[in-house]
Structure 1
Amino acid sequence: MPVTFPTPKLIIFDCDGVLVDSERVSNQALIDNLARHGLHLTLERSLELFVGGTMLGVMQQAIALGADLHADWVDEIYRETYAALETGVVLMPGVTDLLARLEERRILICVASNGSEDKMRITLGQNGLWERFHPGAMFSAHSLGVSKPDPGLFLAAASHFGVQARDCLVVEDSATGVLAAARAGMRCLGFAPDGDGQALAALGGEIFTEMAQVPTLIGL
C-alpha cells in the first residue's frame, strides 16, 4: 500500500524556481557577468552549479573555477540580477490555483528563501504574491543570517507559526533546500518540472513535476 501522510499544518515554499520562474533569468545575468570576469559557463552548467546557493557561495565557487572577481562583486551581481528580474518573471504554472486551494483549506503557507527580501519584492511583487506573504510569512536568509542547507531558516518559520517540524511540509527545487528540510526533520516535496529529480530524490525529496499534483500528495 502507498504511504500516506497527514495533511501538513504549514507549507514552506522556496521562492525562485518554485513560486516564480526566475532561475534562468538570474543565471543568465550571472553567466553574462562571469564571462566579463574570465569564466565562461553555459546556462545548464550555471544552473547545475549554483541553484539553491548563496551569492557568497557562488563567488567562492566561481573564483575556484577561475573567475577574477573583485571584493565588491556580490554587490555588482545583485544589481545586475535585480535589473534582469525587473524586466519580467512569471509565476510557475499552477501556483495561483495551488495557493488558493491551500488558503481555502486554512493551511498556513510561507516563503523561505536564500535570496534577499529585495529580490523577492521584485519577483513576487510582479505577480501579486508580495502582499500575500509579506511581512509575516516571508523568511529570508539575508534577514535571519542563516541559509540553506542549514535547517535554521525552516525551523525559524515553523517557530514563528508555532508549528512542530513534523507538521510542516517544504516545497523545494534545489539540493540545498531538500537537505535543509531533511536536517529540520520536515517532509519535503522536490519540484522537478523538467522531470530530472534524481539529485533531489537522493537527498530525500519526494519528486513531483506539476503543482497540480500537490493536493493529492498532501491528502487534500
Structure 2
Amino acid sequence: MTPDLVLFDCDGVLVDSEPVTNALLVENLAARGLQVSHDRVIDLLVGGTIAGVAKTARGLGATLEDNWVDLIYAEMFARLATEVTAIPGAIESLDALDAAGIPYAVCSNGPHAKMEITLTRCGIASRLAGRIYSCEDVPNPKPAPDVYLKAAADAGIAPANCAVVEDSPSGARAGKAAGMRTLGFTADTDPTRLTPICDDVFDDMRALPGLLGLTSK
C-alpha cells in the first residue's frame, strides 16, 4: 500500500552522519578514560540521544565534564559541517515522493541545531522546511512514538496511513508503537536487529520507492 505520508529518521537514513559521529565518540571517550570499540559506540549511540550516551558512558567509568553534552555537540557540529554527505539514494527517494505527490517529513532524536547543519550541507533542508521534527518537540524521545505521532497529527494524516523509515531498533520500535508501517534500512545495521521489529527491511535506499509502491521513473 502506498502511504499518504512518509516519515524519515535523519541520521543514517537521509544523511550519512553516523560514521563521523561514531569516530568522534571513540576518540572523545578514550580521552576521558573509556576505551570503546566502534561497534560498542554504535550500540551506545544509534537511535538514542547524546544525553543517554553520557549517562551510559559515566556508568562504564568515563570521566565526563558536567557540560560534556554541550562540548561533544560543538565538536560534532564542526565535523559534520565539513564532512557529512547524503545517504546514497536518499535524494532520489525524495524526488520520487515529490513526483508522486506524497508528503514527507524528518523525525529524529537529534536536536534541530544538528539537523540544520547536516540537512543543509546535504542540500535537503529547504525541501523539508516546516517538516523537521526533533525529540526537542515532544515529551519523550524514541523509542516512544511521540515524534512520529506529532508529525502525522500536524499533517492531518492517520498513523495507519503513514510509513516510517528507520535504521535503529529504537527508532523502529517508535514507528511500530505509533501504529505505522515501519521499514528498516540495513545498509549499516545488522538486519537481525531490525527484522523482528519492522514490516520490511532493505539495504539500498534506491529500493525505497519500489517498497512504497511508487512507479519508477
TM-score category (smaller protein): over 0.9
Opposite residue 12 of structure 1, the aligned amino acid is L
Call closer, same or farther: CA 1:35–1:203 in 2, change over 3 Å. same
Q: Which residue is 1:84 aligned to?
A: 79
- Equivalence map 1:81-120=2 (5 Å): 81-120=76-115
State the SS of the aligned residue for 1:86.
helix
- How large is the Cα RMSD of the aligned pairs? 1.2
CA distance in 1, matches of 2:56, 2:128: 32
State the SS of the aligned residue for 2:194.
helix
Match of 2:55 among 21, 44, 60: 60
Q: Which residue is 2:143 aligned to?
A: 149
Opposite residue 208 of structure 2, the aligned amino acid is V
Q: Deviations over 1:66-95 (max 9, x none)?
A: 111122111111111111111221111111
Match of 1:177 among 171, 176, 189: 171
CA distance in 2, matches of 1:194, 1:147: 22
Q: Percent identity?
A: 44
Where in structure 1 are there 5+ consecutive unaligned residues?
A: 1-5
TM-score, normalising length: structure 1: 0.93
Q: Which residue is 2:27 aligned to?
A: 32
The size of the alignment, in residue pairs, is 214
CA contact (8 A) 2:137 2:147 kept: no
CA contact (8 A) 1:178 1:205 kept: no
CA distance in 2, matches of 1:140, 1:195: 22
Call closer, same or farther: CA 1:16–1:48 in 2, change over 3 Å. same
CA contact (8 A) 2:168 2:189 kept: no
Where in structure 2 are there 5+ consecutive unaligned residues?
A: none
- Displacement after TM superposition at 1:194 (Å): 4.1
Q: Which residue is 2:213 aligned to?
A: 219
